[in-house]
A and B are shown apart, each in its own frame.
Chain A
Amino acid sequence: MRNAYVGTARRKLRGISHVELLVAGMLLSIGLAASVKLWTFAYAVTIDTDHVGMAYNLGRQTLEAVHNAGFANVPEGTTVTYYTGAPAATADASQAMYRVTTTVTSSAVKSGVAGQAGAVPADTALRTVNVTVTLMRDNSTLYSTGTYLARGGI
């Protein structure tokens, strides 16, 4: 005897798996697209974090070098240094990833012009030091800091 149910089931089941698969596929693609977007966002944030970390370490390194040189020996004016990502500076700006700009200006000078290279700070001067780290790719400022120098100070 023929199974009445089979005939009925066949009519009811015809095409349902395809539709189901299509819908499932659509949902999967939407979901995966969103997840991929999330993943790329996380990747970009991670890259950015790397840059920020590198930048503030370069900034700290630069300012420590300024402190090390001492109040009277830090050159007046603006100094620019380039880094590829390695601790040592590079002379080739075209290969650099980061640019560190150090600006030193004295409130009083014995000779020269304050804020310009060659000026000699007065003993009573307060020297303003600003350090800025820039990402060369898009000239965005990653990190900046500033401090003062004084005779007999830090």
Chain B
Amino acid sequence: MKRSANRPPGGGRGAVLIGVLFLIVVVTVMALGIGSLAVGHRSRADTDARYAAALDVAEAGINQELVRVTGNVNDADLPPGGSGSAGRGTFLVQATMLDGTTPWDRSTAPFLVTSRGTVEGVSRTVRVKVGLFDQPADYTLFGVKAGVVDTLKGSAITIDGNLGTNGKLSFSGQPTIEGSIDFHGPDSGWASNPGGSYVVNTYPDPVVWPTVESIAAQQFPSGGLAYLATHNDNALSGIVNNTISANNGTITLKGKSGGANYYLTSVNMGGNAQIVMDNSAGPITIWCGPSGGTGTFKFQGGSAVIQSSVDATKPVRIYSAASSDIVMQGNSHIDCGIYNVNAAAKGSIQFGGTPDVYGPVITNYFTLNGTVNLHYVPKMFKPTSCGYYGIMPGTWTEVNGR
């Protein structure tokens, strides 16, 4: 018997249907695979983009920290670190000693700065070694105000150390400058031919010195000079009404451990009155205020019990925020650094007699007459612009980088 010719090809019921379904499954699986691969690549590209951005954020943290510590080492972010943001991420940055763990002591250089930047869950950590790039900043005498003429009159003036100014300089006679004369900024230079031979350096930018008001605000965050007016050590030495006035006798200002801070609105000494700085127990700081005040500040004497050449850890400093001049009289040994840079940019330092001054004099401007010997004492006052913290070449590393 013949097989029917009408039997459909394939012979089986639903063979085409099954075949088609199988084909659809195969094609779908392939398409899903392709789609999955494409999505995976897209996800990878996103992660790579976040990875790149995270490095930028980490480096932002490093740079922000450099600006902070250059401005004020007390602003350093110590472990566990300080946070910030840049771009579309956040960073956590900290300054440590070279062991990478011990918090930076705010004075040792070089030290490490480590920053971790995070962008949408992706983190990268960068570490650098930071050094202090110091420009000249230690001066025996410095005139801060640009556009004015600082003057040394006479040949009997001796500056043991460096003389600097942001303004002009004029010599009448030939004073002795044992260090260099440094002109800072575009407005700085000789007002007239000095007539003698000196070592002269010029720098493009003026030196920026913090004002007494800002120094006080930094040391006494509760109110700076205003706080000092009512919270001081005047009673330690029997000073009342924030004034000293004497025509004879000896007035002793006593130091104490951690430093004694005196706040004075007037100092008027005449006759044979003398002031003695008894810093045997600790440093002494005299704050002359208020800011822009016009009180009289005439000191006489000023020798210290512990001279700075013997023990530099017990310095004597005078900070004046007043706009009146600080007058230092007497023929004796004066042990103190004098800082007269104030918000009003007024007031100068005057020396009468023949003093032997051990301590830097940083003032808005100066005119020195007569026989004055100024001696260099290192690192009593620090400007904000000279010297900055920067990355030492070749020290950039990525921690646990891929």
Interface residues of A (CB under 8 A from B): 3, 6, 9-10, 13, 16-17, 20-21, 23-25, 27-28, 31-32, 34-35, 38-39, 41-43, 45-46, 48-49, 52-53, 55-56, 59-60, 63, 123-126, 128, 130, 143-154
Chain B contacts for A49, CB-based, 8 A: 38, 41-42, 45
CB–CB B133/A144 < 8 A:
no
Q: Is B396 an interface residue (CB 8 A)?
A: yes
CB–CB B66/A153 < 8 A:
yes
Proximity string of chain B (53-77) to chain A, C-beta cutoff 8 Å, 1 when within and 0 when not: 1001101101110110011000000
CB–CB B38/A149 < 8 A:
no
Chain A contacts for B67, CB-based, 8 A: 124-126, 148, 150-151, 153
Rounded to whole Å, the gap between the CB of B228 and the closest CB of chain A is 27
Binds A, one of B27-35, B98-106, B329-337: B27-35
CB–CB A13/B59 < 8 A:
no
CB–CB B49/A56 < 8 A:
yes
Chain B contacts for A143, CB-based, 8 A: 49, 53
CB–CB B24/A55 < 8 A:
no
Q: Is B240 an interface residue (CB 8 A)?
A: no
Rounded to whole Å, the gap between the CB of B334 and the closest CB of chain A is 34
CB–CB B86/A59 < 8 A:
no
A9-B4 contact given A28-B23, A152-B388, CB 8 Å threshold: yes
Measured CA separation A144–B120 after assembly (Å): 12
| Closest A residue, CB atoms, query B23 | A28
Chain B contacts for A25, CB-based, 8 A: 20
Q: Is the interface of B mostly helix, strand, loop or mixed?
A: helix
A-B contact pairs, 5 of them (CB 8 A): A31-B28, A34-B28, A46-B42, A130-B87, A145-B87
| Closest A residue, CB atoms, query B205 | A123
Rounded to whole Å, the gap between the CB of B36 and the closest CB of chain A is 9
A152-B56 contact given A126-B63, A147-B87, CB 8 Å threshold: no
Rounded to whole Å, the gap between the CB of B397 and the closest CB of chain A is 12
Proximity string of chain B (13-25) to chain A, C-beta cutoff 8 Å, 1 when within and 0 when not: 1101101110110
CB–CB B52/A56 < 8 A:
yes
CB–CB B63/A147 < 8 A:
yes
A130-B87, A147-B56 known; 9 other A-B pairs, CB under 8 Å? Answer: A23-B17, A32-B24, A45-B42, A48-B42, A52-B46, A124-B71, A146-B57, A147-B57, A153-B63
A124-B384 contact given A145-B56, A153-B391, CB 8 Å threshold: yes
Partner of A27, one of B24, B56, B126, B384: B24
Interface centre among A16, A123, A146, A150 (most CB of B within 10 A): A150
Measured CA separation A6–B32 after assembly (Å): 46
Q: Is B39 an interface residue (CB 8 A)?
A: yes
A13-B8 contact given A126-B67, A151-B390, CB 8 Å threshold: yes
A154-B45 contact given A9-B7, A32-B24, A128-B86, CB 8 Å threshold: no
Chain B contacts for A123, CB-based, 8 A: 205, 385, 388
A6-B31 contact given A49-B41, A123-B388, CB 8 Å threshold: no
